[in-house]
Amino acid sequence: MSELSFTGGTILALALGYLIGSVSFAVVVSRVMGLRDPRSFGSGNPGATNVLRGGNKLAALLTLLGDAAKGWLAVILAAWAASRGWLPGAALALAGLGAFLGHLYPLFLHFRGGKGVATALGVLLALQPWLALATALTWVIVAAVTRYSSLAAIIAAVFAPFYYLLGDKVAWRIDVLTAMVIVAISVLLLSRHHENIARLLAGKESRIGGKKK
């Protein structure tokens, strides 16, 4: 199979990534385990943090791993296809962006998805493992100190593009398209947390392990 054109290949990568990202593990895991739909309580967000508010740590962990895995899988599949000449090299970053958009606006949940933190981490893990590690450590440190999952996500999202720039010629070589995708993901993450930012400023945000205020 010959390599697709740049336009056709990138559209295909975005589309396939989007379909993979549209699978909501918060909803799937909750249904399989006979738990309440995470959209029916707490923040109503189909993500690991809200599943944790339901009181089942295993379900929250499985949701976290599943949402991260789909971001990783989208990029890895694109890399596999690109290595065989079926897709252009740009497909990797764009497949990751597609998976992230799929989580935010899932086809299977009427375009009402989660905030994408775990999926974004999975995308970074596939694109640049060391970048993913630095970003994840930022989240862990902030979350451990403040016990605010949202604040940890916000700070990690802000730092991720800077980590990518700082790592140039040290841990990796900067790719312009990848940099643009990372910035886009960070901006979208921040926009999805606008309500959390307002609650943080008002002192009304829920802490990890606590109930929704």
* Cross-strand bridge partners of residue 168: 172
What tokens appear for 81 in the block?
A: 């296809």
Q: How far is CA 165 from CA 62, 92, 95, 153, 156, in A?
A: 32, 19, 21, 19, 14
Blockwise average pLDDT, block size 10, the chain, 213 residues: 60 95 96 92 85 90 97 97 89 96 94 94 97 97 94 97 95 94 97 94 82 54
Radius of gyration of the chain measured on its C-alpha atoms = 17
Q: How far is CA 132 from CA 25, 68, 205, in A?
A: 21, 11, 26
Would you state the pLDDT for residue 212? 53
Would you state the pLDDT for residue 55? 84
Whether 27 and 37 have beta carbons less than 8 Å apart is answered as: yes
Burial per residue of 88-104, b for 16 or more beta-carbon CB atoms within 10 angstroms, e otherwise: bebbbbbbbbbbbbbbb
Q: Rounded to an integer, what distance in angstroms lies between the CA atom of residue 85 and that of residue 81?
A: 7
